[in-house]
Amino acid sequence: MPYRAPLKEFRFLFDHVVGLERVTSTDRFADATPDLVEQILTEAGRMCEEILAPLQRAGDAEPARLENGVVRTSEGFDKGYEAIASGGWVGMSADPAHGGMGLPMAVTTAVNEMMSSACLSLQLCPMLSQGQIEALEAHASEALKDLYLPKLTSGEWSGTMNLTEPQAGSDVGALKTRAVPDGDGTYEITGQKIYITWGDGDFLPNVVHLVLARLPDAAPGTRGISLFLVPKYLPTEDGAPGEPNSLRVVSLEHKMGIHGSPTAVMEYDGARGWLVGEENKGMAAMFTMMNNARLGVGVQGIGVAEAAYQHALAYALDRVQGKAGGTGTIVEHADVRRMLAGMKAEVHAARAIALMTAVATDMADATGDAAWAARAALLTPIVKAFGSDTGVAVAQEGVQVHGGMGYVEETGAAQFARDARICTIYEGTNGIQSMDLVARKMTDGGEAAFRLIDEIQQGAEAARPREEALAQAVWDAAEALREGTEWLVSRDEMQDRFAGAVPYLRAFARVLGGSAHLTSALAGGAGRRALAAVYIERLLPEHAALLAQLRAGAGGLFALSLDDLAAA
């Protein structure tokens, strides 16, 4: 089934739910007029439908491979990437001083979702470049910016992030990669990094790696980590790719999904690198890229969910099976209708949360308001975890809608489930995102969370005259979330917080989604109201069970000894 860009959904959410006009009314983003945004979304949607979507199955059937040290990419990916780069889609939110469009992150988020729906394996390449651009804009020297940002922003060169090592996964502080000063302002980088997405590609003239490494005599743990820019080819004076640097792709991982995306093991053997930011402050610089990527990964999950939903709906509208009224197709069966309605409601909620996060980021950038920055920080782990969980759940439901045919690779339904699974793992597992939410994001005593809950309840109060039942359900859920948050911030024992972190994050997302659906019901027609009822009546009640898990604490988990956990 051909992919169709959900342009009406983006327009509706921008205009009626997330308040894009607040962003475009600032001086920073005043050029992003409604007409311009409309043109951008339309052109990006056309590219995704006509150029990227046909590459989805090819990337799965013909994975990237390593041949004699050269990464050979899937057929057609070179043309697809050329369309992305030539259209300016890599540098949408980048600084115009280096060739970017300077668009709001909210618009970039919409385009990234469409690209993820069309071909996730290929979209991973520009997404990582976008994160690197943001990190370099914030932390690199002017010389590095002038040399690298125009190439990265145009998409001529691509960027990666190198954190993980065989012994240092989530515990980044355990890394062993070394950086030795050369005495001329550069450093020799030596070590091995794993899981490097788009570590190389045969259509990329140069690949710019951001590598975490440790200087001699640096402190242990994350306090002693620095960040370095290490290009595959050393640029010449005129900025062209010059001599090869001392690095190579050792191997490519054989993965469950995203086969078209080369995931490399990288080896650095005295490779020449340049310091980004200050010595021993590498994690702060890398977090700029990681936070960009966490929003991006949540959006990837939503993109896969949208594509899986469209695929399942098309099948359900065509498949005749059993005794059903109306069209005679399986969409007339109540259980199939339940699955499809739930899938659509989940995608709408997750998409709204992603755009809320992007709008908060834009407002923080445009105004410098600490409250907006706090909101963006609070929402980032939520959108990463809930967006990627939604991708997995909706893709799995899509397989179920197909029945036995969903388990057959030729239908394409299984690929969505396989591709989406990585989104819950990389850029910090969803458990780590949840721990971040209940720990670092609550150091303000929950102030940012309570402020958001207040707004949700105010919106529900305003909705009562038109939607009493739906409004009451959202208000009650928000009040339960408030009480859960109060319990959470009162816990000094972090294990109690961490034990309930995942259910708390999901409960927060459920309430945010309910609020977005309620707003949509007020602004839209009967269809919007019906979809809101599906979410609020059938999915939102999950928040109560999740918050009960939050309050259970850690004691019961650790009451199980290791012997108790052992297999029989």
Q: Where are the domains of the chain?
A: 158-281, 431-565
pLDDT at 568 over 80: no
Q: What is the 3-state secondary structure (H, E, C) of 82-104?
A: HHHHHCCCCCCCCCHHHCCCCCC
Give the phi and the psi of residue 148 in degrees, each rounded to 5: -100, -35
pLDDT digit string (tens) for 191-201? 999 999 999 99
> So what's the pLDDT on residue 173?
86
pLDDT digit string (tens) for 537-558? 999 999 999 999 999 999 999 9
SS3 (DSSP) at 135: helix
pLDDT digit string (tens) for 342-354? 999 999 999 999 9
Distance, CA of 173 to CA of 167 (rounded, Å): 10
Whether 279 is catalytic: no
Whether domain 431-565 has CATH 1.20.120? yes
pLDDT digit string (tens) for 308-329? 999 999 999 999 998 878 889 9
Cβ atoms of 511 and 543 within 8 Å: the answer is yes
> So what's the pLDDT on residue 289?
87
Range of weakest confidence among 111-115, 165-169, 337-341, 440-444: 165-169
Please tell me which residue, 210 or 323, carries the higher pLDDT value.
210
Distance, CA of 32 to CA of 24 (rounded, Å): 6
E strand map for 286-329: none
- % of the chain at pLDDT higher than 70: 100
End-to-end CA distance of the chain: 46
pLDDT at 1 over 80: no
- Please tell me the total number of residues recorded for the chain in this structure: 568
User: Cβ-count burial of 218 within 10 angstroms (0-12 exposed, 13-18 middle, 19+ buried)?
Assistant: middle
* The pair of three-digit structure tokens given for residue 205, joined into one six-digit string: 């003239």
Distance, CA of 278 to CA of 41 (rounded, Å): 38
- % of the chain at pLDDT higher than 90: 94
Among the listed residues 9, 306, 427, 467, the single catalytic one is 427
Dihedral Cα 115, 121, 122, 123, nearest 10 deg: 40
Q: Assign a CATH topology to domain 158-281.
A: Butyryl-CoA Dehydrogenase, subunit A; domain 2 (2.40.110)
pLDDT digit string (tens) for 374-395? 999 999 999 999 999 999 999 9
Which residue bears the tokens 């045969």? 202
pLDDT at 108 over 80: yes
> So what's the pLDDT on residue 564?
92
Instruction: Give me the chain's average pLDDT, please.
Output: 96
The band of 69, judged by pLDDT with boundaries at 50, 70 and 90, is very high
Of 90, 9, 5, 6, the C-alpha closest to 51 is 5
